[in-house]
Amino acid sequence: MNTRLKKLQQSLAKHKIDALLVRVHEGDNQNVLYLSGFGGTTGVLVISKKHAFIVTDARYYTRAVAEAKDYKLVKVIRGKKFTDHINEALALAKLTKTSRIGFEAAHVPVSIAEIWKSELKGKLVATQHVVERFRQYKDAQEVELLRKACRITSKVYNEVAAIMRAGMTENEVAFELDMRLRRYGAISNSFTSIVAAGPNSAIPHHATGDRKLRAGEPVIMDFGGLFPGGYCSDITRTAFVPGKEPSKRIQEIYNIVLKANQAARRGLKPGITYKEFDKIARDYIAENGYGQYFTHGLGHSLGLVAHDPFDYEHDAFEVGTVVTDEPGIYIDGFGGVRIEDDLVVTKDGNERLTNAPYWKF
């Protein structure tokens, strides 16, 4: 049995539920993939303390059997309600109308929850962050998939930085990034690539457009890929368009951001909280006179999605936490710099999964 399923089953009593329903619709919930290996866009996992079922339609019968090996398939038949088949799975799991059936409130629309409460044979209980808490800490296999994704993405940056020239547009640079991600195995982007040149680099999440690059100006490239196995990369580098020496001020800003990134990385270790991690980089930037221009959080959890779940308020980083380290300075009308690496917490500190070089003036 896969260890993720077993851990979840063992946790049901803690949450005072007899089973958990995990729903994916049009690919909106990676918890299904995490728990079962099923990568289809529609289905419901029915997980009790001793049983596990996957309920899906005819488009996915073959994939469900092949991918969700620890789950018994309950086939959705055209003309019947989906809830009829969830009830079939609940009955096979020997659950009754008095059983407490958990469902993921964050992933089930109110309209669907109302239907479930009316039609399912059990007492529906809304749950929060049950599966997500397991996803916060990656195992060795997950880390290896993330490492591979990050190394490929770093390679893509190296290639595109080498061909970037004045006169190219932001969209053309983004195309080069996206094309190379696919060439080296990405299934899709983990988010829409951001390429922000010149004054646009002062906008942290700029909408990539047709502005032409000019010699000497900064170009922020924030991009990543979704790779086979389901895991994402997310990297940001600030490069400079060849043909003119960048201004002294932007060079100063770049070096401050880089040192803030490196300081935070040195401080990342088991037991540190997100707030403490963020403070390292934020204090360094403030001490160097640019505190007001660092306008976002230092980073986020990374995994099956670019912003993977993590309870930053209550949980510390531990071995297996994968987090981004992305300080930035943004000055309206002038420009900005952001440098992002993907890090995994280890027993001795951390490992940098991304290995793209930093800029050398």
> Quick one: pLDDT at residue 346?
98
Q: Is 360 inside any structural domain?
A: no
The CA-CA-CA angle for residues 244, 295, 170, to 5°, reads 40
Cβ–Cβ < 8 Å for 215, 283: no
Q: Are residues 205 and 342 in the same domain?
A: yes
Query: What's the CATH number where 87 sits?
Result: 3.40.350.10
Cα–Cα dist 157/347, whole Å: 29
Please, which residues have CB within 8 angstroms of residue 249's CB and are 6 or more apart in sequence? 334
- From 135, 164, 183, the end of a domain falls on 135
Q: Is 358 inside any structural domain?
A: no
Instruction: Please classify residue 111 by burial: count the beta carbons closer than 10 Å to its beta carbon, then call 0-12 exposed, 13-18 middle and 19+ buried.
Output: exposed
Q: Are residues 13 and 84 in the same domain?
A: yes
Token duo for residue 224: 């990543």
Q: Are residues 240 and 200 in the same domain?
A: yes
Q: Is 357 inside any structural domain?
A: no
Cα–Cα dist 254/256, whole Å: 5
What are the residue ranges in the chain where pLDDT is below 50? Answer: none
Total domain count, the chain: 2
Cα–Cα dist 264/278, whole Å: 7
> Quick one: pLDDT at residue 1?
56
Q: Is 100 inside any structural domain?
A: yes
- From 117, 135, 153, the end of a domain falls on 135
Amino acid letter, residue 183? R
Residue 273: CB atoms within 10 A of its CB come to: 14
- Continuous segment of H or E residues that includes residue 125: strand 123-127
Q: Are residues 15 and 126 in the same domain?
A: yes
Query: What's the CATH number where 228 sits?
Result: 3.90.230.10
Question: Which residues sit opposite 349 in a β-bridge?
Answer: 346
> Quick one: pLDDT at residue 235?
98
In the DSSP assignment, the letter for residue 239 is E
Q: What tens digit of pLDDT does each residue of 39-78 get?
A: 999 999 999 999 999 999 999 999 999 999 999 999 999 9
Q: Residue 276: which domain range?
A: 140-352
Please, which residues have CB within 8 angstroms of residue 162's CB and are 6 or more apart in sequence? none
3-state secondary structure 162-204: HHCCCCCEHHHHHHHHHHHHHHCCCCEECCCCEEEEHHHHHCC
Cβ–Cβ < 8 Å for 310, 262: no
